[in-house]
Amino acid sequence: MPSSRAWTACDTVSGKIYVFGGDSAFLSSPLGTVEEYDPTTNTWANKADMPTARSGSAAVVIEGKIYVLGGLTTWGSAVADVEVYDPAINTWETKAPLPKPRGLLCAAVVDGKIFAIGSSLPPNGPWSRTVEMYDPASDTWSKRTDMPSARGALACAAVNGRIYVIGGRDGGSIYAANEEYDPETDNWIKRAPIRMTDSGGQTALASLSTTALNGRIYAIGGQRNIGGISERLVLEYTPPIVTPEVRLVVAATELGTVFVSPLMESYTAGAEVTVTAEPERGFELVKWTYGGEEFTTNPATIVIKEGATLVPIFARKVAEPISIDIAPAMAITWNSQEGKTYEILSSTDLENWVVEVEGIEGTGENSTQFFLRTTSEIYYRVAETP
């Protein structure tokens, strides 16, 4: 790197690495320097300086632009500035500042929102648990649930929509903490702390870096003691696979009732459930639609999907004629069930039907109804009365 500095922030855009700010004299000479590294040519290039010189800031990328948040100007002094660098045109833009000055914080992006987490103000604090969310669309900040432990000089990375906040320090301790934040629910969970090996004890680290790759988080470098020797460690952490809980949404209908087994408040995506339709009198289930699929069995087994709605499609039940005698009179015979009523409908175009006879009581045997046939262009059918 062309310039010697520590406490920098960096991120990547379009295969190039950008390094922002830092300090050349242990928090007494903050820099606004920006340098770009191109791995394909193994060369460095100077870029437009940050408007605010600082060290110990955080950097994240959204839509090809790098947001640099907060930072330290001197020992014991922090800034709230948020500035955005556009590598495509090598220019800076100022955005809404953090609600309060913060340095040695970390930041991560989930669903296009920036989450700024923790901070510290050397040498004696304060040490922060603060979590704030920035929405680029509205250029506004909003408060979120504080993380469980107050710390700065920490690191964080996002995997599968969750943010993992790792390590850090307060005034007298260095942490091995690994806490998971879910932006959707605004809740925190403690996860496995930093360890050198699966069977070893906890490894407390501060002033480390983290990055996410292929669903894993890599914790790199740091210090195990306040003011101690810097480490060369690279530790790998595999976050748990989080399967979303999904509600089964059933479309409302007055033509039947749907029963679900097992019936639960929510399900794990991919779980199988059995659905059974009980049509209202005079109706029958034609099919189900769910998540782009169709089912005609009743009961049916479906696989729970996010964002899908189960739609039962009912239609009026039709009693199929057993025989029809034509002219000069017409007789319609059908399988009549006791306890049900039927009606005879007629049509000249097979689309618009008119009730000719209604209230025919079922007998449990074949029923017959006679008509005078007025024209050869008339059609009849039997329907069960709802």
Mean pLDDT for the stretch of residues 356-379: 68
- Dist. CA 268–CA 345, nearest whole Å: 48
The residue ranking higher by pLDDT, 88 or 5, is: 88
- Helix, strand or coil for residue 190? strand
Decide if 210 contacts 216 (C-beta within 8 A).
no
Q: What is the pTM of this model?
A: 0.64
Decide if 148 contacts 188 (C-beta within 8 A).
yes
DSSP single-letter state for residue 299: S
CATH placement of domain 9-237: 2.120.10.80
Q: What is the mean pLDDT of the chain?
A: 86
Nearest by Cα to 366 from 322, 343, 334, 331: 334
The residue ranking higher by pLDDT, 326 or 333, is: 333
89-136 per-position pLDDT tens digit: 999 999 999 999 999 999 999 999 999 999 988 777 788 999 999 999
124-183 per-position pLDDT tens digit: 778 899 999 999 999 999 999 999 999 999 999 999 899 999 999 887 788 888 999 999
For residue 239, is the peptide bond before it cis, meaning its omega torsion is within 30 degrees of 0? no
Question: What are the backbone dihedrals phi and psi of residue 105, each rounded to the nearest 5 degrees, phi first?
Answer: -95, 175
State both tokens at 79. Answer: 């800034």
For residue 244, is the peptide bond before it cis, meaning its omega torsion is within 30 degrees of 0? no
Mean pLDDT for the stretch of residues 4-27: 86
